[in-house]
Amino acid sequence: MSTIKNGEVGTLDTLGECIWDEAKDLQYYQEIHGHDEGTKDRRRCMVERIEANFDDYVETLNRAIQFLWKRPHDLDADVLSLMSVDGKIALLRKLILEQSNHIPVSRRMDYLVRFEDDLDTYTKVERLRNKVLQRHLLEPTGTWLRELVDADDWIVTAWFEFDESMSCEHEGYDRLLASKRG
């Protein structure tokens, strides 16, 4: 993660490096979300997008846990809902490792690597999301639009790729994307 001090707004946290200023910040936002001249508070708009996409981000983890749950007792949905994202990721790592025991040896390593990559992305996104949102809470105007846009984009990327991996690797898995369309 790179942090760069540039411009009057403050530092920029992103997963890549860049040189940044206020004009580039607005241009970046507009390239992705359009020229919404009527929107005075673009940061608030991005926080609302992050909130909506965070629901899908968590729901994808929940769906995967429910699908992989192979215990003699039912999964307690109330307890699952109380777990943090980090706790759900840790539980998924355990369930995926257990599931790998039922996969042919020739495919096991690819299976494990695929899900480790997906869950590592979740872990990185979680750190980025928390850092950007914490900064936004402490100083809303000190947060670059790019930080909020990138955090939102990474949230969507994380849940979408993990949802796709679950669908490709597990027959019968009901994708979140499919349920959102129907």
pLDDT, tens digit, for every residue of 56-74? Answer: 999 999 999 999 999 999 9
Contact 79, 106 (CB under 8 A): no
Tokens of 23: 């004009």
At residue 23, the pLDDT reads 83
Regions of the chain short of the pLDDT cut 50: 1-9
Measured CA to CA, the distance from residue 147 to residue 125 in angstroms comes to: 12
Cite the beta strand spans of the chain per DSSP E: 2-6, 10-14
At residue 54, the pLDDT reads 97
At residue 28, the pLDDT reads 86
At residue 47, the pLDDT reads 94
Angle ∠(81,120,12) on CA atoms, nearest 5: 95
* Tokens 């001090």, located at residue: 5
Q: What tens digit of pLDDT does each residue of 104-125 get?
A: 999 999 999 999 999 999 999 9
**Does pTM top 0.85 for this prediction?**
no
